[in-house]
Amino acid sequence: MSKVHLSHWWVSSSELQSLEIVQRSLEAKGLSLVDRPELADLQAVLMSAHPLWERVRGDGPRPIDLSHHLSLFDLESRIFPPFRVADGPSHLCLYGIPLGAFRNNSMWVDRGIADRIGGRPRDLGEWMDWLRQASRLTNCPLGVSRESWAQSLLFESIVLSLQGPEFHRRVFGMQSARAVSSRQMLECIEALARFRPFVSPERASQAWHELAAQQRAGEVASLVMGDWLHSEFTEPSTFGSTGYRSSYKWTVPGTEGIYLYSVDYVVLVEDANTAINGEALTALATALLHPETQARFGLIKGALPAVKDAIEPNIDPEGWKLFHLASLCPEILLPSMSLLQGSGMRLRDAIARAVHTILFGDATVEATHATIVETIARDAGRLSCLRLAA
């Protein structure tokens, strides 16, 4: 039996349960997971909000070119094909096998608070009004956790709500210095500052799953997090249901009809002295792309599977509908910078620090804008936008 070492940073119960799905699918193909890379025939990294680039740029494992190995599979049956991302200075490329796709411009809202307020905000102005009303019912109208991806996702959602998908693409995909220096970007930072009264400084050090638990208890009115938060509000026996126990899942106000996505990818890597085990690699790709694996993974994590024949009736039908529309209208399909699907980690983390100082510190809008402009100028051209392989 070939052995695989899979690096990951998953800690929540739903994440660990989804890893069990992966493990069982590998075992069915004669593969087993091991806990140390030196014991493995294959090394892989689960690329999910994960600083993989910094590892492969240094002395760590190098990414394997999967283009030949994955040519064996019928990519026309895939919703998300394997992807390729190129890094300009190092000429490295990452190739990944997709496990499932998530919409990130989702807002999870406490049912009790939402029902008492009534209505649903449709744009940034109505969002602010809704938060003001929620502040009369709870001391935490908007939960923002400590993770850099969570803080940057809030700002990314504000940019998308206020300025639309084309401006989002110019800032986070193209990293256009002109767009970042513009009055439009300054307006987004000014809008972010208006959220300050609605966040809770004492919760700024808490992890995302802690805030999810507090929302289940009715202590937090809303969270801006992706569809992958799905299982935090679902009974284990009803994974895949869209009827959540304590929350509504809304689209972030002002972003209706846009699919800001991230994908859980498995990236194969190798050490300089390790030969590629082609047989094991093919077995791993076969296991991960199997319709049953994809469907079960999607039901637990709230993901759209990366294969069309994995359709399950319990997977969010609205998500399916919007994603298929996005495949026909690519202008509404945007990779999420916050989950490292389209931009570099340094940009994501710089924006997260700026968000933190605006919401919980004393930074001015002008100083924050200057910091983001400087980061874009320094990293211009460093990492290209995510490209899906043909």
Angle among Cα 307, 387, 23 to the nearest 5 degrees reads 40
For residues 219-229, give the mean pLDDT.
92
Report which residue type is found at 19. L
Please give the CATH topology (third level) of the domain spanning 2-100+263-314. D-Maltodextrin-Binding Protein; domain 2 (3.40.190)
pLDDT confidence band for 272 (50 / 70 / 90): low
Q: Using the predicted structure, report yes or no on whether residue 82 has a pLDDT greater than 70.
A: no
Q: Using the predicted structure, report yes or no on whether residue 162 has a pLDDT greater than 60.
A: yes
Q: Looking at residue 383, what is its pLDDT?
A: 42
Q: Looking at residue 146, what is its pLDDT?
A: 93
* Nearest CA-CA partner of 284 in 112, 52, 70, 92: 70
Rounded to whole angstroms, the Cα distance separating 376 from 390 reads 29
Report which residue type is found at 383. L
Q: Looking at residue 386, what is its pLDDT?
A: 39
Average pLDDT over all residues of the chain: 82
Please list, in sequence order, all residues whose beta carbon lies within 8 angstroms of the beta carbon of residue 151, skipping any fewer than 6 positions away: 144, 145, 351, 352, 355, 356, 359
Q: Using the predicted structure, report yes or no on whether residue 155 has a pLDDT greater than 90.
A: yes
For residues 361-382, give the mean pLDDT.
80
Query: Which region among 146-150, 183-187, 240-244 has the lowest average model confidence (pLDDT)?
Result: 240-244
Query: Which region among 83-92, 117-126, 300-309, 377-386 has the lowest average model confidence (pLDDT)?
Result: 377-386
Burial class (CB in 10 A: 0-12, 13-18, 19+), 366: exposed
For residues 299-314, give the mean pLDDT.
75
Exposed e or buried b per residue across 177-186, where buried means at least 16 C-beta atoms within 10 angstroms of its C-beta: eebbbbebbb
pLDDT confidence band for 215 (50 / 70 / 90): very high
For residues 322-332, give the mean pLDDT.
70
Q: What is the pTM of this model?
A: 0.85
Q: Looking at residue 197, what is its pLDDT?
A: 96
Please list, in sequence order, all residues whose beta carbon lies within 8 angstroms of the beta carbon of residue 389, skipping any fewer than 6 positions away: 67, 70, 75, 81, 82, 83, 84, 95
Q: Using the predicted structure, report yes or no on whether residue 385 has a pLDDT greater than 60.
A: no
Which range is most confident: 92-96, 186-190, 344-348, 373-377? 186-190
Query: Which region among 14-18, 57-61, 244-248, 382-386 has the lowest average model confidence (pLDDT)?
Result: 382-386
Rounded to whole angstroms, the Cα distance separating 3 from 138 reads 50
